Structure 1
Amino acid sequence: MKIRAFCETDYQNVLEIYSGSKLDELRFEKKTFELLPLESDEKRLSALKESEIFVYEDGNVLGYGAIFEAEIRALFVCPSARGKGIGKAILEFLLSQINGRATLFVAKTNYPAKELYKTYGFEVSDEFLTDYNGQPVFANKMIRESGKQ
């Protein structure tokens, strides 16, 4: 198993992991969301493409993460590979690539992810209204000061 830089041959795997995982972050919302595939989501795809992307591979690509400057823009694990520490490994790797304060954005109701981030020193700094596939969603900005964990 290793975390390595994304290459173009990983693109289909990233799309599949995103499609299998994206709606999980919204599962605690009171409404139902329809998946907007990453390749059709101009805003999120553009943000991903301008980021540094890293994949977790163990024979197959099982997860990926992305950073842009000091912002973690993506962290997704294949649903069948969850519970094995892959998300933590990717998060730790991404944090090792960021000097100083790190930020990320997460759905306000994504309690499992927020708890994971809190164990790594992140704190909620803001709440705001955004949208996913045309549906309004409250989100949190989380910040981790440098040197925290």
Structure 2
Amino acid sequence: MIQQRTDKVELESASAGEYEEILEVWEASVRATHHFVSEDEIHFYRPLILQQLLPQVQLTCARNEAGNMLGFSGVADGKLEMLFLHPAVRGKGIGRKLLQHAVQQQKVTKVDVNEENEQAVGFYLHEGFQVASRSPVDGMGNPHPILHLELVESKA
């Protein structure tokens, strides 16, 4: 069980040995926020994320003082490829902390977000991103529109 205390959150790089733990946070987050994604899609994406996507990004994990993983981000070539939080810690500033780290330390200027994930869209727009373009389907051709966002002003 994730402890709710988040006052002492540490960001650290993640290694391949943490992929399973990262995948657990990813799945919990998707189940809590991506109501438009089917159970079959979750099962389809799990091995792709584990075997293909995680090795291609620079991972940063947020952990509390007990060492519990609260969330993570993945960055490649100035683009935030993923940012997921454990549902128990949403709304506590951890996503903002991960995003600020990505913008300031990893020079992120772009992110793609599911249009159907209205909370995520609102989060990125509030943090200074704007819609640059839209795709009617996701990267796998599924009918989940993607908004391509670019940073216009850093609030970090």
**Please, what TM-score do these two structures have when normalized by structure 2?**
0.79
Q: Is the 8 A contact 1:19 1:38 kept in 2?
A: no
Q: Deviations 1:15-49 (Å, cap 9, x if unpaired)?
A: 1011111244432x4xx61223654226x852331
Distance 1:130 1:45, change over 3 A: farther
Distance 1:105 1:25, change over 3 A: farther
Q: Is the 8 A contact 1:64 1:90 kept in 2?
A: yes
Q: Is the 8 A contact 1:108 1:139 kept in 2?
A: yes
Q: Is the 8 A contact 1:6 1:55 kept in 2?
A: yes
Corresponding residue number in structure 2 for 1:136: 143
Which residues of structure 1 form unaligned runs of 5+? Answer: none
Deviation for aligned residue 1:60: 0.9
Distance 1:137 1:124, change over 3 A: same
Residue identity opposite 1:139 in structure 2: I
Residue identity opposite 1:33 in structure 2: S
Distance 1:26 1:39, change over 3 A: closer
Which residues of structure 2 form unaligned runs of 5+? Answer: 1-8
Distance 1:88 1:11, change over 3 A: same
Q: Is the 8 A contact 2:19 2:54 kept in 1?
A: no
Find the aligned partners of 1:24 and 1:73 in 2 and give their Cα distance. Answer: 19
Find the aligned partners of 2:34 and 2:46 in 1 and give their Cα distance. Answer: 19
Q: Is the 8 A contact 1:36 1:133 kept in 2?
A: no
Aligned partner of 2:121 among 114, 117, 129: 114
The residue matched to 1:15 in structure 2 has which SS?
A: helix
Aligned partner of 2:26 among 18, 27, 42: 18
Q: Deviations 1:56-96 (Å, cap 9, x if unpaired)?
A: 01121111001101100010001122222111111111111
Find the aligned partners of 1:24 and 1:61 in 2 and give their Cα distance. Answer: 16
C-alpha root-mean-square deviation of aligned residues, in Å? 2.3
Q: Is the 8 A contact 2:116 2:144 kept in 1?
A: no
Find the aligned partners of 2:25 and 2:140 in 1 and give their Cα distance. Answer: 18
Distance 1:37 1:19, change over 3 A: farther
- Sequence identity (%): 22
Find the aligned partners of 2:130 and 2:75 in 1 and give their Cα distance. Answer: 18
Find the aligned partners of 1:25 and 1:127 in 2 and give their Cα distance. Answer: 20
**Please, what TM-score do these two structures have when normalized by structure 1?**
0.83
Aligned partner of 1:6 among 1, 9, 14: 14
